[in-house]
Amino acid sequence: MQRFQINSYHEYEKAYKDSVENPEAFWDEIASSFLWKKKWTKTLEWDFTKPEVKWFVNGKLNITENCLDRHLEERANQTALIFEPNSPNEAAQYFTYKALHSKVCQFANVLKANGIKKGDRVCIYMPMVPELTIAVLACARIGAVHSVVFGGFSSSALAARINDAQCKMLLTADGGFRGDKITPLKAIADEALQSCPSIEKTIVLKRVLSDVALKTNQVWWHDEIKKVDDNCPAVEIDAEDMLFILYTSGSTGKPKGMVHTCGGYMVYTAYTFRNVFQYRCDRTQRYGREDTRASMPDVYWCTADIGWITGHSYIVYGPLANGATTVMFEGIPSYPDYGRFWEICEKHRVNQFYTAPTAIRALAKNTVNLADNYNLKHIKTLGTVGEPINLEAWNWYNDYVGKGKCPIVDTWWQTETGGIMISSLAGVTNDKPTYATLPLPGVQPVLLDEKGNEIQGNPAEGILAIKFPWPGLARTIYGDHQRYKNVYFSAYKGKYFPGDGALRDKSGNYRITGRVDDVIIVSGHNLGTAPIEDIIDEHPLVAESAIVGFPHDIKGNALYGYVTLKDSDNSYNHDALRKEINQLISDSIGPIAKLEKIQFTDGLPKTRSGKIMRRILRKIAEKDTSNLGDTSTLLNPECVQDIMDNAL
Ligand code: WT7
């Protein structure tokens, strides 16, 4: 246990050094602090060329025993989960470890009673309510593989994910509250189910109490839980068995179902959670005075949705594996007004607060000093994730929320990495505005030049890669190991390629500079340009299209689409066409992928080999046309001026 917790810079340095010099011994010790049903026989087996990575080989465990049962002796009556509803007028709900354990076991029995067995895939398309966390853990309890699909996705995006994983069951709700709107989840799910033959049963939770009816093979959540008790032994699972599938978009093709396994993911999320946020379950000292309650757990809040990896790793698994008190919030930062986050921080006395730069920018723009109206003195650690944070947003976060006194952890990681890779450890290692700073123990980043050679020395700038495995790495893409190899392990031989560029200052701190592929991050969501272009091209009037990102005050980046019509007849109503194109995108991906601007052009700049020159289009979208570079080699240089003249 000594080892598990890093308390000083010196301990960080030592842990880092050990983790590089002797990774197996290092992770062996960290993993030993968990509850295993059977100890592993080998700590690590790996080969990045195949690629194959296995941690804690032949170890047997159940992650829910580590997240729930293990805490019952010491903290049965401690709050595990705080649920803050969308409406501030609805009461918050508090679940102790005992209560959460009971609910998870009960729902696991519901899954079993409805035919779910170890290895079956269960799709979860639910709002941010406690039953979502319960459903996720109930799957893990019996070794079923959960595939959570974010509630903002459309019916065809949902259907594609269900079909890719061949899910046997769907868990959904009548609807979900989001600010003053209701998302009709059940109606969207029903539409998806028309093309999902693998689904045998759907369980529906009543949340918004709308008037929805059940169809064949659909049952109510509240009816099912009445039929079972809460006694459900945790199934023994191999460390390398699948825990879940979570989809992330790629720069081309369909979404990738990243596969995370039980053992390594648990160890990695728990370890990084504890150390990055410096979460403590047993503070006896608080705000300079002795606390009268024997051991006070910190209250931690991550504002992400469980539909994304941040929610999986740092609302559910990481915190619960540490016996933490974790908050989940159903709503949005602007409802009923932009003070909502701070109201919640005050109400639940939040100690660690973790959110995204896009939320920070929206709050900075709209609250001015709303953060001053609430008592935020309990906050000790601030965190950010999802995209590079700009200095202005960093300063606002530091001044208005942290009051200049809270360390800010800028955490760089990905769906694929399972947990945080590069970040400061709150108050233990130094933070530096706009820098993710140092790699966590066990993480060995390198910077590469275009040719793939490692750049030695500091400062340096290049392509980020990781040269040694860590336990949280996704093991494959569901059903497509070849694609996993192509995307992550083929660009630079023997190294994991995350798709980001970075620079390193003279002290070795990393700053992530952004994507080096055709992925654009909009409001913290990864969007591949090619899949969106494919959808636009399906419009009967469209010949071809190209999408680029451009800077946006709040979203970080927004999408700018250049669209060429088959027939350049100007009598088309362009505004109506723009609406149709965005409707198409919204229907097949979701509203998050809609284009901010759509410019109709007579042609797109192309190289002689026919490749669209996105660099030029990007510059025009960014309104930075002073240096377009050499356009003379283009196939159709004349179109550039025309595009510039009509830029939006
Ligand atoms: C991509 C991964 C990890 C959970 C949320 C996103 C970007 C993420 C940072 C950061 C700069 C960041 C990267 C990465 N990103 N965190 N702190 N600084 N960029 O997960 O959807 O898998 O996206 O988000 O470009 O590759 P994801």
State the closest ligand 1 atom to the C-alpha of 389, by its place in the atom list counted from 1: 18
- What are the angstrom distances between the C-alpha of 25 and each of 8, 18, 41, 445? 21, 8, 13, 20
Q: Which two tokens stand for residue 67?
A: 């997240």
What is the residue with the minimal CA distance to atom 1 of ligand 1? 414
Give a yes or no: residue 135 inside a domain: yes
Looking at the predicted complex, does its ipTM rise above 0.90? yes
Q: Is 86 in the pocket of ligand 1 (CB under 6 A)?
A: no
Give a yes or no: residue 157 inside a domain: yes
CATH code for the domain of 159: 3.40.50.12780
- pTM, rounded to two decimals: 0.92
Q: Is 310 in the pocket of ligand 1 (CB under 6 A)?
A: yes
- Pick the last residue of a domain from 210, 235, 260: 235
Give a yes or no: residue 50 inside a domain: no
Beta carbons within 10 angstroms of residue 438's beta carbon: 23
Give DSSP secondary structure letters for 418-432: SS--B---TTTS--B
What is the residue with the minimal CA distance to atom 2 of ligand 1? 414
- Pick the last residue of a domain from 214, 235, 256: 235
Three-state DSSP state, 100 = helix
Number of domains in the chain: 2
| Closest to 55 in 3D by CA, of 264, 356, 320, 360 | 264
Q: Is 190 in the pocket of ligand 1 (CB under 6 A)?
A: no
Alpha carbon of 564 to ligand 1 centroid (Å):
32
Q: Which two tokens stand for residue 498?
A: 């995350």
Indicate whether 293 pLDDT > 70: no
Give a yes or no: residue 419 inside a domain: no
**pLDDT value at position 287?**
45
| Cβ neighbours for 540, distance < 8 A, ≥ 6 positions apart | none
Q: Which residues pair with 148 in a beta bridge?
A: 124
- What are the angstrom distances between the C-alpha of 470 and each of 26, 55, 265, 272? 11, 9, 9, 12
The Cα 129–Cα 185 span in angstroms is 13
**CA dihedral of 599, 601, 607, 608, whole degrees rounded to 10:** 160
Q: Please write the tens of the pLDDT for every residue from 146-195.
A: 999 999 999 999 999 999 999 999 999 999 999 999 999 999 999 999 99
Q: Is 436 in the pocket of ligand 1 (CB under 6 A)?
A: yes
Give a yes or no: residue 288 inside a domain: no
Q: Please write the tens of the pLDDT for every residue from 111-150.
A: 999 999 999 999 999 999 999 999 999 999 999 999 999 9
Give a yes or no: residue 493 inside a domain: no
**pLDDT value at position 1?**
46
Q: Please write the tens of the pLDDT for every residue from 580-635.
A: 999 999 999 999 999 999 999 988 888 776 778 888 999 999 998 888 877 777 77
Give a yes or no: residue 46 inside a domain: no
Best probe residue, ligand 1, of 413, 421, 434, 520 (max atoms within 8 Å of C-beta):
413
Best probe residue, ligand 1, of 245, 312, 315, 412 (max atoms within 8 Å of C-beta):
412
Q: What is the mean pLDDT of the chain?
A: 93
User: What range defines the domain where residue 626 resides?
Assistant: 523-645
Alpha carbon of 387 to ligand 1 centroid (Å):
5
Best probe residue, ligand 1, of 390, 526, 557 (max atoms within 8 Å of C-beta):
526
Alpha carbon of 149 to ligand 1 centroid (Å):
18
CATH code for the domain of 622: 3.30.300.30
| Closest to 511 in 3D by CA, of 433, 423, 424, 435 | 435
- Pick the last residue of a domain from 207, 235, 263: 235
State the closest ligand 1 atom to the C-alpha of 514, by its place in the atom list counted from 1: 25
Best probe residue, ligand 1, of 387, 397, 466, 487 (max atoms within 8 Å of C-beta):
387
Q: Indicate if the alpha-carbon torsion angle 503, 507, 509, 511 is positive or negative.
A: negative
Give a yes or no: residue 214 inside a domain: yes
